[in-house]
Amino acid sequence: MGTYSIIVASNKSEDQQFFRSIADLDSWHFRFAQNFSELLQFAANKVPDVLVIDENLPDEGAEAIVSMIRSMPSLIDVALVVMTDERQGDFFRRLASAGADEFCRRPLETHILRVRLSSLGRRTRQLSLTTQQKEVAKNLFRIVAHDVSNLFINFEVFIRSVERGQDPEAQQKRLVRAKKTLSEVRELLRNVKTLDAMRSESLVLDLVPVSIQDCIEKVSDVYADRMTDKRVRLAVDWQVDPSTMVKADAPSLKHQVIGNILTNAIKFSYPDSEIKITVKDDPDYVMIGIRDHGVGIKSDLAKSLFDEQKSQSTIGTAGEKGTGYGMPLAYQFVKAYKGRLEVVSQTQDESPDDHGTEFRIYIPKHHLQAA
């Protein structure tokens, strides 16, 4: 029948004895509350699959308790059973209207109650799973929309260059970049299944040797027009052998990690400033630092920068908009690589001469095995 978590709220000793006997038969996990306050305490520690309450529970009447339970977001989908001595239809109609799912008339019957509780426990878990799937789908849509939007800005830059009537050679170079961007969009969309797994917390990435040089060059090329359009220079300082490999997932490292961070750096950089990518050796990791000289991040915002529950979007120096999901996503992927992501930042108020932000991405090295 399955094992479910059930809270029984009753101050009647015979009720507790009856449910303890069922627990012995089915290995269900029961918790017994004497009143409504205890019920809430138990539910706060662990949301149950089923709530069983006595119609005469102390503190409040059954109808008021059912209504209060259904007003609580954490308990809204939990199956709710009312034990009663009543036989009147009006009583049942009022409680059903308030949110009760089932009624158990005394004397309680073991077989019937076991079947009902199993059915209700399954229903609660199915509802919970459906709610989680909806949230996963919603977050997945936000993520894909965010990253595709980042890439399509490059097409807008290309279109503006055509409208300005740039010379054919310059337009041809931008057209080549636009085609590469289209390939990156296709790769990102092929990566949707990986993103779906990430959001459902079931992601197990296939960590393989990845060329940092290849990732940085491709991302730099994709965003070159955007940097040109904003008059932002990009410098890369290789303090390790450019052929060094890391253990990661190439599509997500390009798009969701380096791409998101570089986009952020461009967004918050001032015209005629520089973004510097530094690649360093760090014992068991390779550190990729992406440093801008832009507005900087206030310390209170930096603390929650990687928390998707507190996603924050700030307008860029040229009025660029964002979603606030880029940094939490980058953080999750770096964790999946068994690496870490850090941020160091100073605002103009804190350091007028040396303001800006540096993201430091630490990714485990790929060590070549001896032949």
CA-wise closest residue to 151 among 190, 174, 172, 178: 178
Three-state DSSP class for residue 302: helix
Q: What are phi and psi of 361, to 5 degrees?
A: -105, 120
The answer to whether domain 5-108 has CATH 2.102.10.10 is no
Say yes or no to pLDDT of 174 above 80.
no
Query: Where does CATH 3.40.50.2300 sit in the chain?
Result: 5-108
pLDDT at 152 (0 to 100): 66
Say yes or no to pLDDT of 330 above 80.
yes
pLDDT at 99 (0 to 100): 86
pLDDT tens, residue by residue, 44-78: 888 888 889 898 876 667 888 888 888 888 888 88
pLDDT at 274 (0 to 100): 96
Please tell me which residue, 22 or 336, carries the higher pLDDT value. 336
pLDDT at 240 (0 to 100): 95
Say yes or no to pLDDT of 177 above 80.
no
pLDDT at 341 (0 to 100): 96
The neighbour count for residue 81, using CB atoms within 10 Å, is 20
pLDDT at 37 (0 to 100): 85
pTM (whole model) above 0.75 = no
Q: Considering only 82-91, 140-149, 256-265, which range has the smallest mean pLDDT?
A: 140-149
pLDDT at 111 (0 to 100): 76
pLDDT tens, residue by residue, 213-225: 999 999 998 888 8
pLDDT at 139 (0 to 100): 58
CA atoms within 13 A on the CB side of 124: 25
pLDDT at 40 (0 to 100): 87
E-strand spans in the chain?
A: 5-9, 29-33, 50-54, 79-84, 102-105, 208-211, 233-238, 245-248, 274-282, 285-291, 340-346, 356-364
pLDDT at 269 (0 to 100): 94
Highest mean pLDDT among 2-6, 98-102, 124-128, 334-338: 334-338
Put the strands of the sheet holding 79-84 in their side by side order.
29-33, 5-9, 50-54, 79-84, 102-105
Judge whether 237 and 276 are in contact, CB under 8 Å: yes
Query: Where does CATH 3.30.565.10 sit in the chain?
Result: 131-364
Residue 39: CB partners within 8 Å, gap ≥ 6?
7, 9, 33, 51, 53
Say yes or no to pLDDT of 43 above 80.
yes
pLDDT tens, residue by residue, 221-251: 888 888 988 999 999 999 999 999 999 999 8
For the domain spanning 131-364, the CATH number is 3.30.565.10
Q: What percent of the chain has pLDDT over 90?
A: 26
pLDDT tens, residue by residue, 270-303: 999 999 999 999 889 999 999 999 999 988 888 8
pLDDT tens, residue by residue, 107-142: 887 777 777 777 777 777 777 666 655 565 555 555
152-176 burial: b if 16+ Cβ within 10 Å, else e: ebbbebbeebeeeeeeeeebeebee
